[in-house]
Structure 1
C-alpha cells in the first residue's frame, strides 16, 4: 500500500511527528510504501525519519502567518503526484495541508487524525478564525472524510458535537510508543550533574512546548506554593518556546526563582531520557491534548506523574491507577506534586501501574497495525 502522511514534520511541532515516526518505523519494514509531505521554513529542523521512509519538503509561504502551513508547493505536489497514493493521511485540522487534498481530484482515500483539535479549550482559542473556517470549509470537508481517527472517547464526543451528528466511520486508536526505547535509561545523575541539581533536591519535570495550552500558567504559581513546604524542590521546564517563554521568564524574575526553575530548552534523544531518569515527578497540567506523547514517555520511563483529565488518555490512567489526576487549578496541581513527593511508596506503585498500562495499551507494534487495518478497510483490494 502506498501511503502519504501530511504534517509539519519538524522537531518544534510536538507530538504528531513522533507519532508518524513510530507508525512508519513499524510499517516500512512490512513492505508498505510511506511518504511524508511537510511544509518547512528556513531554520526548521526536520524530524528523524525511519529507514525506508521518503520525505518531501515543500516551502512554507509567507501567507502561512494567516493560514497555517500555507504552501503552493504542497498543492502542486498533490496535483502532480497525489494519484500515486492509496491513502492520504492528514494530521490535524485548521491548516492548509488539511484542506488542499480535497481541492485535487484524487483516487486516494483520505484519513484525518484529529489530534485533540476539536476540544472545547482549543475551539475557544482563535475562536473567530476557526468559526469562519468551519463555516467556509473545514466542517464540510470533515463530513466528507471516509475515516476519522481519534484517541479516546472524549474526542468522539468532540467530533460529534462539532459535526452535529455521529460520523459513520470514527475509530478510536490510541497513540503508541516503541517501548524498548524507554527500558534502558542513562545512568541516574547524568541530567542533574549537567544542570547543577543536587541529589537531595526534588526534581519536578515538565517536558513539552512552552505554551499556555500546556498549563504552564498554573504550574508556575503551583510550584511557588509547593516551595513553601518543599524548599528543596526544583522545577525543570524543558521544551521549545511556543509563545509563552517571555511570561515564564518574567515570573522567574518577579519571584526570584532563578535558582529553582531551570530552562534547558528542547530535550531530545539521550538528553530527554536522562531527564526522565533523574526526575522525581513528571507533570503536564494541560488544558488540551489529543494524546500527549511526552506524558506517555514519562510513564514508560517509570516517572510518577501529575496529569490532568485533558492529556488524552485519562480513562486509561484511572483504570490502571497510573497517575495522580489533578484539576486545572493552581491548588490542585500543587496538591498533586506534594502528594507524590511526600508518599514515595504510593508514587512508586503508580509508576509501576503506568508501565503496565503503556505495555498493554500503547505498544506501537499493535497500534500501528491497527491503523494499517483501518487503511485496508478503505482500500480492501490491497489486502
Structure 2
C-alpha cells in the first residue's frame, strides 16, 4: 500500500501521536508498504531535519488552527496517488482539509482522534467548548462522520468520544496500540542517563516523563509528595518533558512552599538512550493525568519493566491494574497520594514481582507487533471496501 499519514506537527515535543506514528510507520515500511507524512510544520524548524520518512510540510498561519493554502493545493494535486490516508488528530486545519480532499476524490481514510474528543477538554474550558462546538458544526463533524473508520486505542476512549458533540455517527473501531521495545541495552541506557544527571545516581526516584501541561496533573503530584515526604524522606521526584506553557516556575514555587523543592529534579526533554535510561533507573513511573486516551509513555515504561502509578483518567488503567503492573486511583491529590503510597509501602520482593508483571503486561497488551498488525489489517480492509 501507498499510505499517506497526515498530522499537524512531527515535533516529538508534542507528545504521543507523533511518536506512535513514527513507531508504527517503521514497522509498516519493514512490511513492504510505502509511507509518506504530510504536516504543517515550518520547513526550517530543527525537528524537520533527519525525519526518517518522506516528509512534505508547509508553514501554517492563523495560530493554533494552522491553516495553509499550499497544504490544500498539495492534497488536491497528490492525494489520488495514495491507496489510503491516515489522519492523526482533530480540531486543526489538517484534518478538515484532508478529509475534504479524500471525500472529493473518493480516497478512503481513517482517523485517529488521539483522545481529542474526550469531554475533559470541553468541561474544563468554557470558551474552548464554545469554539469547538462551532468548529464541530461547520467543519470537524464532516471529518469524523465521513471517515471509513474512526480509530480508538481503548474502549474507554471510544465511550467518552460519543458524549460531547452531535451529530455524531462515526464508524468506530478500537485498534491495538503500543510502543516498541527499547533499542538499547539497559546498562548502556542507564549509564547515559546518569552521565547527564549524576545527582540521581545514588538516589531512589519516581519519574514523570511527558509534557509539562495542566492536564498532566503535575500539581497533584507535587501536593501528594508534600503530604508523603516525612514518611518517605529518601524518595525523589524527577520531572522530564518540554514546558511550552512555562508552568515550571509556578510548580517550583509550590514545591518550595511545601519544603520539597530539594526533592525534585527537573530533567528537561529526554530522548534516545537518555530517555530509556530514565525509565530503567527510576523506581516507578508516574503519570497523574486528568485525561489520556492511551498514554504511550505508560506503554514505554512497562516495556522496560517499570511499574506505573497512574490515575483512572488514563484509559488503559484497567489493563495495568488487572496485571498488577502498577496502581491507579482518582485524579485528585488524595488519589495520587494513595497511588504513591501503595508503591512506596511495598517490600523489596513485592516490587521485584511488580516489575516482572510490568513486562508481562506490555507483551500481552501493548506490543508494537500487535499494534501494527491491527493497523495494517484495518488499512487493507478499507482499501478493499473501496474496490468492492
Distance verdict in 2 for CA 1:329–1:262, change over 3 Å? same
Distance (Å, rounded) in 1 between the aligned partners of 2:55 and 2:91: 22
Displacement of 1:260 in angstroms is: 1.5
The residue number in structure 1 matching 2:293 is 290
2:342 aligned with 1:339, yes or no? yes
Displacement of 1:159 in angstroms is: 2.9
The residue number in structure 1 matching 2:90 is 93
Question: What TM-score do you get using the length of structure 1 for normalisation?
Answer: 0.91
2:265 aligned with 1:266, yes or no? no
What per-residue deviation string (whole Å, max 9, x for no partner) do you get for residues 190-215 of structure 1? 53453243555320100000001111
Distance (Å, rounded) in 2 between the aligned partners of 1:18 and 1:220: 27
Distance (Å, rounded) in 1 between the aligned partners of 2:20 and 2:321: 23
Distance (Å, rounded) in 2 between the aligned partners of 1:37 and 1:185: 37
The residue number in structure 2 matching 1:371 is 375
Q: Which portions of structure 1, spanning 4 or more consecutive aligned residues, are displaced by more than 6 angstroms? A: none
Displacement of 1:167 in angstroms is: 4.2
SS of 2:315's equivalent in the other structure is: coil
Among candidates 224, 229, 232, match of residue 231 of structure 2: 229
Kindly indicate whether the alpha-carbon contact (under 8 Å) linking 2:151 and 2:175 is maintained by their aligned counterparts in 1: yes
Kindly indicate whether the alpha-carbon contact (under 8 Å) linking 2:145 and 2:171 is maintained by their aligned counterparts in 1: no
What per-residue deviation string (whole Å, max 9, x for no partner) do you get for residues 75-130 of structure 1? 12111211111211111111111101233322311111011111121232321221
Question: What TM-score do you get using the length of structure 2 for normalisation?
Answer: 0.90
The 5 Å alignment of 1:1-383 reads: 1-7=1-7, 8-41=9-42, 43=45, 45-46=47-48, 49-50=51-52, 53-61=53-61, 63-65=62-64, 67=65, 69-104=66-101, 105-124=104-123, 125=125, 126-162=128-164, 167=169, 169-179=171-181, 181=183, 184-186=186-188, 188=190, 191-192=193-194, 194-197=196-199, 201-243=203-245, 244-343=247-346, 344-380=348-384
Distance verdict in 2 for CA 1:189–1:259, change over 3 Å? farther
Distance (Å, rounded) in 2 between the aligned partners of 1:168 and 1:371: 18
Kindly indicate whether the alpha-carbon contact (under 8 Å) linking 2:285 and 2:309 is maintained by their aligned counterparts in 1: yes
Distance (Å, rounded) in 1 between the aligned partners of 2:357 and 2:382: 36
SS of 2:361's equivalent in the other structure is: helix
Distance (Å, rounded) in 2 between the aligned partners of 1:370 and 1:256: 48
Kindly indicate whether the alpha-carbon contact (under 8 Å) linking 1:64 and 1:71 is maintained by their aligned counterparts in 2: no
**Across the two proteins, how many residue pairs are aligned to each other?**
378
Gaps of 5+ in 2: none
Kindly indicate whether the alpha-carbon contact (under 8 Å) linking 1:176 and 1:363 is maintained by their aligned counterparts in 2: yes
Gaps of 5+ in 1: none
Q: CA RMSD in A?
A: 2.3
Displacement of 1:17 in angstroms is: 1.0
Kindly indicate whether the alpha-carbon contact (under 8 Å) linking 2:224 and 2:336 is maintained by their aligned counterparts in 1: yes
Kindly indicate whether the alpha-carbon contact (under 8 Å) linking 1:117 and 1:123 is maintained by their aligned counterparts in 2: no
